Amino acid sequence: MTEPSAHPHLAPQFCFSTVALRDFLRTSRGAIDDSIAQNLNALVTPARSGFDPASTSVRTPRASSQPIDPRACRTFQDKVLFPSWQARSDVLTYCAYVATSPDPDDPEMALRAAETEKNRERVVDERLDPYSGRYFPREPRTEQLADLLRQERSVEKIVRSRTWGLVRERCGDGFQEAEDALNHWRRGRERHGSG
Protein backbone atom coordinates (compact mmCIF):
# COMPACT_ATOMS: atom_id res chain seq x y z
CA MET A 1 0.00 0.00 0.00
CA THR A 2 1.16 3.53 -0.73
CA GLU A 3 2.59 5.43 2.20
CA PRO A 4 0.91 8.66 3.38
CA SER A 5 2.72 11.95 2.86
CA ALA A 6 5.37 12.60 5.49
CA HIS A 7 4.69 15.64 7.63
CA PRO A 8 7.48 18.21 7.06
CA HIS A 9 9.13 20.11 9.88
CA LEU A 10 7.06 23.28 10.13
CA ALA A 11 9.02 26.49 10.54
CA PRO A 12 8.66 29.93 8.95
CA GLN A 13 11.72 29.21 6.79
CA PHE A 14 9.88 26.23 5.26
CA CYS A 15 6.95 28.47 4.28
CA PHE A 16 9.11 31.27 2.91
CA SER A 17 11.07 28.77 0.85
CA THR A 18 8.48 28.56 -1.87
CA VAL A 19 10.51 25.83 -3.58
CA ALA A 20 10.34 23.59 -0.49
CA LEU A 21 6.66 24.37 0.09
CA ARG A 22 5.67 23.70 -3.51
CA ASP A 23 7.86 20.57 -3.67
CA PHE A 24 6.13 19.11 -0.62
CA LEU A 25 2.65 19.82 -2.04
CA ARG A 26 3.59 18.54 -5.52
CA THR A 27 5.19 15.37 -4.18
CA SER A 28 2.28 14.62 -1.86
CA ARG A 29 -0.30 15.22 -4.57
CA GLY A 30 1.70 13.17 -7.06
CA ALA A 31 2.06 10.17 -4.77
CA ILE A 32 -1.54 10.09 -3.60
CA ASP A 33 -3.98 12.15 -5.67
CA ASP A 34 -2.43 12.18 -9.15
CA SER A 35 -2.09 8.39 -9.02
CA ILE A 36 -5.41 7.69 -7.28
CA ALA A 37 -6.57 5.33 -10.03
CA GLN A 38 -3.42 3.22 -9.63
CA ASN A 39 -3.71 3.34 -5.84
CA LEU A 40 -7.30 2.11 -6.02
CA ASN A 41 -6.43 -0.54 -8.62
CA ALA A 42 -3.78 -1.84 -6.23
CA LEU A 43 -6.58 -2.55 -3.74
CA VAL A 44 -8.18 -5.03 -6.14
CA THR A 45 -6.76 -8.49 -5.50
CA PRO A 46 -7.69 -10.65 -8.51
CA ALA A 47 -5.53 -13.65 -7.63
CA ARG A 48 -5.64 -14.81 -4.04
CA SER A 49 -3.62 -18.01 -4.57
CA GLY A 50 -0.85 -16.56 -6.74
CA PHE A 51 -0.48 -15.73 -10.40
CA ASP A 52 -2.62 -17.73 -12.82
CA PRO A 53 -1.09 -17.74 -16.35
CA ALA A 54 -4.53 -18.41 -17.82
CA SER A 55 -5.66 -15.01 -16.50
CA THR A 56 -3.75 -13.30 -19.32
CA SER A 57 -5.53 -15.20 -22.08
CA VAL A 58 -8.78 -13.31 -21.58
CA ARG A 59 -9.09 -9.56 -21.48
CA THR A 60 -10.91 -8.41 -18.37
CA PRO A 61 -13.14 -5.33 -18.26
CA ARG A 62 -11.84 -2.03 -16.98
CA ALA A 63 -10.44 -2.18 -13.48
CA SER A 64 -13.06 0.30 -12.31
CA SER A 65 -15.71 -2.39 -12.80
CA GLN A 66 -13.90 -4.77 -10.47
CA PRO A 67 -15.20 -4.47 -6.93
CA ILE A 68 -12.87 -3.27 -4.22
CA ASP A 69 -13.25 -4.77 -0.78
CA PRO A 70 -14.91 -2.04 1.37
CA ARG A 71 -12.44 -2.79 4.20
CA ALA A 72 -9.51 -2.20 1.83
CA CYS A 73 -11.06 1.10 0.73
CA ARG A 74 -11.63 2.20 4.32
CA THR A 75 -8.07 1.23 5.29
CA PHE A 76 -6.66 3.15 2.31
CA GLN A 77 -8.70 6.22 3.23
CA ASP A 78 -7.86 6.06 6.94
CA LYS A 79 -4.17 5.18 6.61
CA VAL A 80 -3.09 6.92 3.38
CA LEU A 81 -5.54 9.35 1.77
CA PHE A 82 -6.85 11.30 4.75
CA PRO A 83 -3.49 11.50 6.58
CA SER A 84 -1.93 12.90 3.38
CA TRP A 85 -4.71 15.44 3.00
CA GLN A 86 -4.35 16.33 6.68
CA ALA A 87 -0.58 16.82 6.32
CA ARG A 88 -1.16 19.22 3.42
CA SER A 89 -3.92 21.00 5.35
CA ASP A 90 -1.58 21.38 8.34
CA VAL A 91 1.13 22.87 6.12
CA LEU A 92 -1.26 25.28 4.40
CA THR A 93 -2.79 26.35 7.72
CA TYR A 94 0.59 26.85 9.39
CA CYS A 95 1.96 28.81 6.44
CA ALA A 96 -1.20 30.96 6.37
CA TYR A 97 -0.48 31.79 10.02
CA VAL A 98 3.10 32.70 9.08
CA ALA A 99 1.83 34.86 6.20
CA THR A 100 -0.44 36.85 8.52
CA SER A 101 2.10 37.25 11.31
CA PRO A 102 4.64 40.09 11.63
CA ASP A 103 7.88 39.29 9.84
CA PRO A 104 10.76 41.08 11.59
CA ASP A 105 13.29 38.83 9.82
CA ASP A 106 12.26 39.87 6.29
CA PRO A 107 15.59 40.27 4.46
CA GLU A 108 14.14 42.83 2.03
CA MET A 109 12.57 45.11 4.67
CA ALA A 110 15.44 47.63 4.53
CA LEU A 111 15.50 47.55 0.73
CA ARG A 112 11.75 48.26 0.55
CA ALA A 113 12.11 51.14 3.01
CA ALA A 114 14.95 52.62 0.92
CA GLU A 115 12.91 52.29 -2.28
CA THR A 116 9.92 53.96 -0.65
CA GLU A 117 12.07 56.83 0.60
CA LYS A 118 13.67 57.21 -2.83
CA ASN A 119 10.20 57.32 -4.40
CA ARG A 120 9.15 60.16 -2.07
CA GLU A 121 12.13 62.21 -3.25
CA ARG A 122 11.41 61.73 -6.94
CA VAL A 123 10.28 64.69 -9.01
CA VAL A 124 7.34 63.61 -11.12
CA ASP A 125 6.28 65.50 -14.22
CA GLU A 126 3.42 63.54 -15.73
CA ARG A 127 3.22 65.97 -18.66
CA LEU A 128 6.60 64.73 -19.86
CA ASP A 129 6.06 61.08 -18.91
CA PRO A 130 2.53 60.05 -17.94
CA TYR A 131 3.90 56.86 -16.39
CA SER A 132 6.48 58.53 -14.18
CA GLY A 133 4.05 58.83 -11.29
CA ARG A 134 3.67 55.09 -11.01
CA TYR A 135 5.40 53.38 -8.16
CA PHE A 136 5.12 49.69 -7.50
CA PRO A 137 6.78 48.82 -4.22
CA ARG A 138 8.10 45.32 -3.65
CA GLU A 139 5.66 43.10 -1.86
CA PRO A 140 6.75 41.87 1.55
CA ARG A 141 7.44 38.15 1.52
CA THR A 142 4.39 37.61 3.75
CA GLU A 143 2.16 38.99 0.97
CA GLN A 144 3.93 36.85 -1.62
CA LEU A 145 3.39 33.83 0.62
CA ALA A 146 -0.30 34.72 1.09
CA ASP A 147 -0.76 34.92 -2.70
CA LEU A 148 0.95 31.55 -3.16
CA LEU A 149 -1.23 29.99 -0.45
CA ARG A 150 -4.42 31.28 -2.09
CA GLN A 151 -3.34 29.60 -5.32
CA GLU A 152 -2.37 26.36 -3.57
CA ARG A 153 -5.64 26.21 -1.62
CA SER A 154 -7.53 26.49 -4.91
CA VAL A 155 -5.42 23.72 -6.42
CA GLU A 156 -5.93 21.60 -3.30
CA LYS A 157 -9.70 21.97 -3.52
CA ILE A 158 -9.71 20.88 -7.17
CA VAL A 159 -7.33 17.96 -6.55
CA ARG A 160 -9.35 16.69 -3.59
CA SER A 161 -12.62 16.98 -5.48
CA ARG A 162 -11.24 14.97 -8.40
CA THR A 163 -9.67 12.36 -6.12
CA TRP A 164 -12.79 12.02 -4.02
CA GLY A 165 -14.92 11.57 -7.14
CA LEU A 166 -12.83 8.52 -8.08
CA VAL A 167 -12.84 7.16 -4.52
CA ARG A 168 -16.63 7.49 -4.35
CA GLU A 169 -17.00 5.84 -7.74
CA ARG A 170 -14.77 2.88 -6.84
CA CYS A 171 -15.48 2.53 -3.12
CA GLY A 172 -19.04 3.76 -2.95
CA ASP A 173 -18.44 6.06 0.02
CA GLY A 174 -21.52 7.96 1.22
CA PHE A 175 -20.01 11.42 1.60
CA GLN A 176 -20.75 13.77 -1.29
CA GLU A 177 -17.89 16.18 -0.63
CA ALA A 178 -14.23 15.50 0.09
CA GLU A 179 -14.15 18.00 2.97
CA ASP A 180 -17.12 16.30 4.65
CA ALA A 181 -15.35 12.94 4.49
CA LEU A 182 -12.09 14.43 5.80
CA ASN A 183 -13.91 16.19 8.66
CA HIS A 184 -15.67 12.92 9.59
CA TRP A 185 -12.26 11.19 9.66
CA ARG A 186 -10.85 13.99 11.85
CA ARG A 187 -13.73 13.68 14.32
CA GLY A 188 -13.19 9.92 14.50
CA ARG A 189 -9.50 10.45 15.28
CA GLU A 190 -10.38 12.95 18.02
CA ARG A 191 -12.89 10.53 19.56
CA HIS A 192 -10.31 7.76 19.59
CA GLY A 193 -7.59 10.04 20.98
CA SER A 194 -5.18 9.64 18.09
CA GLY A 195 -4.77 13.18 17.10
Query: What are the domain boundaries of the chain?
Result: 1-43+66-101+140-195
pLDDT tens, 18-65? 899 999 999 999 998 998 888 888 888 655 555 556 655 555 555 555
Q: Which pLDDT score, from 0 to 100, does residue 148 have?
A: 94
Give the rounded percent of residues in the chain with a pLDDT score beyond 70: 69
Q: Which pLDDT score, from 0 to 100, does residue 70 have?
A: 85
Q: Which residues does the chain have with pLDDT short of 70?
A: 1-2, 45-66, 104, 106-138, 193-195
pLDDT tens, 151-160? 999 999 999 9
Q: What is the mean pLDDT of the chain?
A: 80
Residues 6+ apart with CB under 8 A from 97: none
Q: Which pLDDT score, from 0 to 100, does residue 20 have?
A: 93
Q: Which pLDDT score, from 0 to 100, does residue 116 have?
A: 58
Q: Which pLDDT score, from 0 to 100, does residue 92 have?
A: 96
Q: Which pLDDT score, from 0 to 100, does residue 105 have?
A: 72
